[in-house]
Amino acid sequence: MRYKLLFLLIIIIFPSCFFNKEGSFYVSKYREKNQVKLLSITLPRGSIEIKGWANDFIEIESNKKIKNKLSFDSRLIKLDFISNKGKLEVTVSIPERVRGSLDLKINVPYNLMKIIINTQDSNIKINDFFGDAEINSNKGLIDMDFQGSILRVVSEESTINLNINTINSSDIFIKNKTGDVNVNVSAVREDSFLDIKSLSGNIYLSINKEISHRFSLTYKNEIDIQYKYGKIADMKGEYNYLSGFVNNYSYKIDLSNINGKITMLQK
Containing structural domain, residue 204? 130-267
Mean per-residue pLDDT, 205-228: 60
The whole model's pTM is what?
Answer: 0.78
Query: Residue 237's pLDDT band (boundaries 50, 70, 90)?
Result: very low
How far apart, in whole angstroms, are the C-alpha atoms of residue 146 and residue 170? Answer: 12
pLDDT score, position 220: 53
Are 120 and 156 part of one and the same domain? no
- Among 127, 161, 195, the domain-final residue is 127
| 68-73 LR contacts (CB < 8 Å, sep 24+) | 68/99, 69/19, 69/20, 69/21, 69/23, 69/24, 70/18, 70/19, 70/20, 71/16, 71/17, 71/18, 71/19, 71/20, 71/24, 72/17, 72/18, 73/98, 73/99, 73/100
Instruction: Please identify, among 109, 127, 145, the residue that sits at the C-terminal boundary of a domain.
Output: 127
> Do 229 and 210 share a structural domain?
yes
C-alpha span between 85 and 88 (Å, rounded) = 8
- pLDDT for position 186: 83
Q: Are residues 100 and 183 in the same domain?
A: no
Residue 190 within any structural domain of the chain: yes
Number of compact structural domains in the chain: 2
Mean pLDDT (whole number) for 195-223 = 67
